[in-house]
Amino acid sequence: MTVLAEHHSDDAKHSFYVMHNGAVTWGIPGEPQLVALHLKRDPAARSYQFDHKMLPLPSMAQSWLIARGCPEEKILLPEGMGTAAADEATRVLEQRLRSDGDHFAYGVSYTDDASDPVQTTVMLRAMDEKAAMPYRVLLEVADTTTWTHTLREGGFQTFEAATEWWEAHWNGDEPPLPTTSPATRHTTAVPGLPARPAPPRGPSR
């Protein structure tokens, strides 16, 4: 485990961590590599408890911790820790992912770190059944040469359309992501898509 960011409350009752689990790369291909950890202490009882979640992107791990009381500015990754946002579009989308946590549910992801650039795809589903674009796909591409990354978002009207893009991308066709409204908001608080088949996990290795 490598700690990427951490924050401890002034009363020492709460600690928040974003960590990278390096062992994941040797396990099931494509699994999320980041851990969001919230540690709660009871000094009077001399005990503690914790909750954690495996997530594919730092901004999603940060969102999960922010929803549990961590100040956003305290859990940002420091300079030189991980890759840096390559452009303004990436920074804006990551800020939205961190700060708005009540509109979309995290369903499935795939991280391919076997080659450069490292790529991660994430599928989200709207909590609002009347949403015009209920399925969203996030694509992060990280360049380990320049240590920068881009993050893009695409919107889809159906699960089948999102899955079609997912399959085409991981088959090497590189289809463009459909544009979405800048007002879209996301969440990491609600696990899982509805009871439908999961999209392809990604390339075999």
Residue 179 domain-assigned (yes or no): no
Per-residue model confidence as pLDDT tens digits over 83-123: 999 999 999 999 999 987 667 889 899 999 998 899 999 99
Per-residue model confidence as pLDDT tens digits over 33-59: 999 999 999 999 999 999 999 999 999
Total domains in the chain come to: 1
- Mean pLDDT (whole number) for 152-177: 93
Residue 133 domain-assigned (yes or no): yes
Q: What is the phi-psi region of residue 44: left when phi exceeds 0, alpha when psi lies from -120 to 50, beta otherwise? A: alpha
Cα–Cα distance for residue pair 30/90, rounded to 1 Å: 22
Residue 176 domain-assigned (yes or no): no
Residue 113 domain-assigned (yes or no): yes
Residue 198 domain-assigned (yes or no): no
Q: How far is CA 56 from CA 5, 60, 84, 123, 200, in A?
A: 15, 7, 16, 11, 16
CA atoms within 13 A on the CB side of 153: 23
Is residue 21 classed exposed, middle or buried when 0-12, 13-18 and 19+ CB atoms within 10 A define those classes?
middle
pLDDT attached to residue 127:
84
Residue 146 domain-assigned (yes or no): yes
For 172, residues 6+ apart whose C-beta sits below 8 A from its C-beta are: none
The proportion of the chain whose per-residue pLDDT surpasses 70, expressed as a percent, equals 87
Asked if residue 197 has pLDDT above 80, the reply is: no
Residue 49 domain-assigned (yes or no): yes
Residue 186 domain-assigned (yes or no): no
Cα–Cα distance for residue pair 18/172, rounded to 1 Å: 31
Q: Print the domain residue range for 87.
A: 2-170
For 87, residues 6+ apart whose C-beta sits below 8 A from its C-beta are: 150
